[in-house]
Amino acid sequence: MSSKTLTVPARLLRRCFHKPRRVFHVDPVRLYYRSPQVVTGSAVRTVDLRSDTVTKPGAAMRRAMAEAEVGDDVLGEDPTVNELQKFAADMFGMEGALYVPTGTMSNLIAVMVHCRERGDEMIVGDLSHIHVYEQGSSAQLAGVHSAAVTTLGDGTYDLDQLISKIRHGYPDPHYPRSRLVCVENTHNIQGGRVLPLSFLQELRSVADKFGLAVHMDGARVMNAAVALGVQPSVILQHCDSVSVCLSKGLGAPVGTMLGGSKDFIQRAVRARKALGGGMRQWGVLAAAGKIALSDMIGRLEEDHRNARSFAQGLLQCDPPLYHVDLTTVETNILRFRLRDTQMSPAEFCERMASVDEEEVKVLGQGLQVLMFPHVGGTVRAVWHLGISEEDTQLAVLKAQFVAQQHKLKSIRAA
């Protein structure tokens, strides 16, 4: 029956019960479980830009690991772990540092130490790793409630919005109690953006005014320090605690340093043990961490340069399939879009990862370039110590080939 033939009340009733079907668009964020097969073979060269977590320890790290002096770290007796912790604390400009297995555990420990009472709340960016990728562990395991503020394109958030989220009702039993505010530097989802020092300074003033602690998920804060040309302590002076991953661009196989005050670290040791992260003779791993912090920071500059040169290469591709905002390329993570919506980011990544006969004929070799489809219909590529300048140029070559092949296919299909 057409709606024209219905009375007004009948039309209203129909609208209530026959809602138009919504079409939901599912954003293909990190497809961890659909990673392309890595084909090996003499004719195929692989450039793995999926993440800076794919790095493998080099010869110096492996040697240091084999030769490390060790002891029982739960008893505080592993000399290599102790040395690493002292080194990290000095570098961060903080009273202490604790060696922790992963960035996820380190962030959770920080939340547990800053938010000690049931009913405590933290304020996080809605696109932060803590909020999106850590399985809600602060709620699941620590009983801490989160309030989210909108993450802006540069990884910051609006401080007025932050202030609007702070609860002022304590001890009114209706509300959680605001305790902590978290930032992420560099910002992963927003494409390795570096938080401006002025933002951190203002955030510190807000936090001080309202009695909040500031935790930085600084998984890649060394990239931020290199990009800004400052010591890490210049960034970290605005934070009460920081979590710094050794196993990303810095190339260690495992480990994160959690920095903070002496009291914070004492409490963090307890939380780490409760979470099962109290390790024994793991000086064999800390030895790699020491090299990560002492020798690997300088080379991050190379990753930033390669990411930028790939971005520039994409813009020069003919036909122009790629959209990149060069002003957003600050460190080792690049996000870009496809101008033609006929090809989805997932299809593009599959195309970059596969090798066909035509490609081998035209390019003289097979190039398998691995990337992930990312948040908001983008593609993400990440540079690290396993990617040379030559690999970067080969990745541009493949992107150029894919753009041309896509154009030819579209013309044939028309």
Residues 27-86 that bind ligand PLP (CB under 6 A): 53
Q: Which residues contact 296 (CB under 8 A, 6 or more apart)?
A: 249, 250, 251, 385
User: Which among 18-26, 100-108, 160-168, 306-314 is the span making contact with ligand PLP, rule CB under 6 A?
Assistant: 100-108
In the bound state with ligand PLP, the residue whose beta carbon lies nearer, of 96 and 218, is 218
Bridge partners of 153, per DSSP, are none
CB 236 within 8 A of CB 259: yes
Two tokens, residue 161: 């919005």
DSSP string of 74-142?
GGT--HHHHHHHHHHHHHHTSSEEEEES-HHHHHHHHHHHH--STTEEEEEETTSHHHHTSTTHHHHTT
In the bound state with ligand PLP, the residue whose beta carbon lies nearer, of 372 and 401, is 372
To ligand PLP, the closest distance from the beta carbon of 252 in angstroms equals: 10
CB 143 within 8 A of CB 118: yes
User: Which among 29-37, 98-106, 114-122, 143-151 is the span making contact with ligand PLP, rule CB under 6 A?
Assistant: 98-106
Residue type, 60: A
Q: Which of 47, 49, 227, 245 binds ligand PLP (CB under 6 A)?
A: 245
Cα–Cα distance between 139 and 280 in angstroms, integer?
A: 29
Cα–Cα distance between 125 and 147 in angstroms, integer?
A: 9
Is position 120 an interface residue for ligand PLP (rule: CB under 6 A)?
Answer: no
Residues 196-235 that bind ligand PLP (CB under 6 A): 217, 219
In the bound state with ligand PLP, the residue whose beta carbon lies nearer, of 108 and 402, is 108
Q: Which of 146, 151, 188, 332 binds ligand PLP (CB under 6 A)?
A: 188
Is position 190 an interface residue for ligand PLP (rule: CB under 6 A)?
Answer: no
Where does residue 79 rank: exposed (0-12), middle (13-18), buried (19+ CB within 10 A)?
middle
Closest CA to 51 of 297, 384, 394: 384
In the bound state with ligand PLP, the residue whose beta carbon lies nearer, of 253 and 319, is 253
To ligand PLP, the closest distance from the beta carbon of 288 in angstroms equals: 14
Is position 137 an interface residue for ligand PLP (rule: CB under 6 A)?
Answer: no
Closest CA to 30 of 259, 336, 349: 349
Is position 333 an interface residue for ligand PLP (rule: CB under 6 A)?
Answer: no
Q: Which of 82, 102, 281, 354 binds ligand PLP (CB under 6 A)?
A: 102
Two tokens, residue 131: 């909020």
In the bound state with ligand PLP, the residue whose beta carbon lies nearer, of 47 and 105, is 105
Cα–Cα distance between 154 and 227 in angstroms, integer?
A: 14
* Number of residues located near ligand PLP, criterion CB under 6 A: 12
User: Which among 14-22, 102-110, 228-236, 307-315 is the span making contact with ligand PLP, rule CB under 6 A?
Assistant: 102-110
Q: Tokens 């003033």 map to which residue?
A: 205
Is position 155 an interface residue for ligand PLP (rule: CB under 6 A)?
Answer: no
Residue type, 103: G
- Residue nearest ligand PLP, Cβ-based: 103
Is position 184 an interface residue for ligand PLP (rule: CB under 6 A)?
Answer: yes
To ligand PLP, the closest distance from the beta carbon of 50 in angstroms equals: 11
To ligand PLP, the closest distance from the beta carbon of 70 in angstroms equals: 22
Interface ranges with ligand PLP (CB under 6 A):
53, 102-104, 129, 184, 188, 217, 219, 245, 247, 256
